[in-house]
Amino acid sequence: MSAGHLEISRAEIQAGSSKQRELKETPTEFRNPEGLQKNSSRRMAGLMGERAQNLMNDPMEKQRTDEWMGLFGLSNEGSQFEQAKIQKAMQGMI
């Protein structure tokens, strides 16, 4: 993998899209005439919660993400992102 090229297969994109649809929650999913429904046994924390769980529980995913972040930091876009983050921090925005 090079800094300018991230290889993602069509199957990975489709799986990600499917996972997003699966994790999408709307208020109407939790209502019924008798009140609140019981939540399923599966923890639903939305997309970010699921991602955080993957990073905490899968060392290979953590390593892959860390490598991507390292490469991103070397790119022009990564440099711009870091500069914007530093400027916001100096302005007390984060």
- Cβ atoms 13, 6 nearer than 8 A: no
pLDDT the model gives residue 77: 94
CA pair distance 45, 20, nearest whole angstrom: 12
pLDDT the model gives residue 27: 54
- The runs of H, that is alpha helices, within 1-94 are 10-23, 46-57, 59-74, 76-90
Amino acid found at 42: R
Query: 39-71: per-residue pLDDT in tens?
Result: 555 555 666 788 888 889 999 999 999 999 999
- Cβ atoms 72, 4 nearer than 8 A: no
pLDDT the model gives residue 46: 66
- Cβ atoms 3, 74 nearer than 8 A: yes
Query: 3-26: per-residue pLDDT in tens?
Result: 566 788 888 888 888 888 777 765
